[in-house]
Structure 1
Amino acid sequence: MYSLPQSYNQTSKCKRCISSNAYDSISYWEDFSKPKIVWGNLNLTPNYALVENNSFINAPSSMIVPASKYLLAILNSKIADFYIKLLGVTRNGGYFEYKPMFIEQLPIPQLKIENKELAQIERLIDNNNYTEIEYIVYNLYGLTQDEINYINSL
């Protein structure tokens, strides 16, 4: 397992720097132009999204750079959401605050470059087949059928 990249940032920090003309002193400035995984802070369910090159978000949003479809699949999985929600508090109406401090604690299964699951996950994401992705992710974490049934029952 490995940790998520430490390049979580808030676009609000960027806005503050742009307005003060100090943006060229920010070490992560170039990350905003790279592909990234972003998410809203307050959601009922995980809603991580892949943002392509040279695309920007005009609202405060955490981000992970570099982006990968593999990481996107893990983050949007039911097992990841279960784990992350153990770390924080659910707010009124069932909303959970997906803070970077919770997200970065998620253990990510490390794959070898030639791993067949990686290519399969990328293909399934391209085809929006999230049910099949869930079962691949369960397998990557080594869940038993009882554990899978429990997570699916939530």
Structure 2
Amino acid sequence: MSEIEKSIKAKIEAVGMPLKDWDIQINYGIKTGCNDAFIIDSIKRNEILDNCTTEEERQKTAEIIRPILRGRDVCRYGYEWGDLWLINTHNGIKGKLERIHIEDYPSIKQHIDNYWDKIESRTDQGDTAYNLRNCAYLDEFSKPKIIWIELSDESKFALCDDLVPLNTVFFLTGNHLNHILGLLNSKLIHWYFTTCLGTSSGVGTNRWLKYTIEQLPLVCHTDEDLSQLVAARLSDKTNVSICESKIDSLICKMYGLTQEECAYVIDNY
């Protein structure tokens, strides 16, 4: 490590607080044990809803069919939904939420029964083969969150509201999401991750794992400058490079980097 890199590293670690010490949670997305049965496209969703015999059944059924996000759908600062849905026959939360009883959803049962041989023998199941496995953080799926995938050659963090991540997607919930998102997507934190923390997949990509992400020293800041810049980046699709350049420059200043150190990071990463 060169002298300038040692200086940058020391400043990041002196100013930042490890993400694990922030008021956040990091989890991975939902596991079905049989995607063929529980993940459907819009055509199948409409078919299931049309097979409901009453308006009450249709409304109840629609409520537990949630849009789902795969790892391949995630990109930097955004995602491209693949028109896929999760049949969320969850197993409930002990003491808080009753599990889904398939008898109350005959149209969904009719669909899932087509895959009975697969779902009946799977290990990832709840109280019945129709239920998804237990998930202690089930209510976190409905919260605003930062999402990312494990394998990527660059920082690819995005903000997501009501979509349910599949198990190939990590997600973070908590406060100050715009602030954290800007830091995670910045050139400076990318430099720190790849130089000081990152683990390689062996095929030229980084592994953005939970335990390494949690170690990132992220700077806390009292003003809203970074959050506002990130909000601008999320809403303005025509000036992406300008927005990201402003974010990178601000973050370097927040960590107290010199002009030479800022240029070293921004020009090389």
What range describes the TM-score normalised by the shorter chain of this pair?
Answer: 0.7 to 0.9
Match for 1:11 among 13, 29, 32? 29
Tell me, yes or no, if the aligned pair for 2:226 and 2:247 is still in contact at 8 Å. no
Where in structure 2 are there 5+ consecutive unaligned residues?
Answer: 1-15, 34-89, 92-123
Q: Percent identity?
A: 23
Task: Supply the distance in 1 between the matched residues of 2:133 and 2:174 (Cα, whole angstroms).
Answer: 20
TM norm structure 1: 0.82
Post-superposition Cα deviations, 1:85-129, rounded to whole Å, max 9, x if no partner, equal 2213323342000111111111111122x4444334433443242
1:99 to 2:209 alignment: yes
Secondary structure of 1:150's counterpart equals: helix
Secondary structure of 1:50's counterpart equals: strand
The structure having more radius of gyration, on CA atoms, is 2
Residues 32, 132 of structure 1: alpha-carbon distance in 2 compared, 3 angstrom cutoff: same
Tell me, yes or no, if the aligned pair for 2:141 and 2:164 is still in contact at 8 Å. yes
Matched to 2:180, the amino acid is: L
TM norm structure 2: 0.50
> Which residue is equivalent to 2:113?
none
Where in structure 1 are there 5+ consecutive unaligned residues?
Answer: none
The within-5 A match list for 1:64-143 is: 64-66=172-174, 68-85=177-194, 86-112=196-222, 114-127=223-236, 128=240, 129-143=243-257
Tell me, yes or no, if the aligned pair for 2:183 and 2:218 is still in contact at 8 Å. yes
Matched to 1:141, the amino acid is: Y
How many Å apart are 1:78 and its aligned residue? 0.8
Tell me, yes or no, if the aligned pair for 2:229 and 2:246 is still in contact at 8 Å. no
1:20 to 2:128 alignment: no
Count of residues in Structure 1 that have an aligned counterpart in Structure 2: 151
Matched to 2:17, the amino acid is: Y
Tell me, yes or no, if the aligned pair for 1:124 and 1:132 is still in contact at 8 Å. no
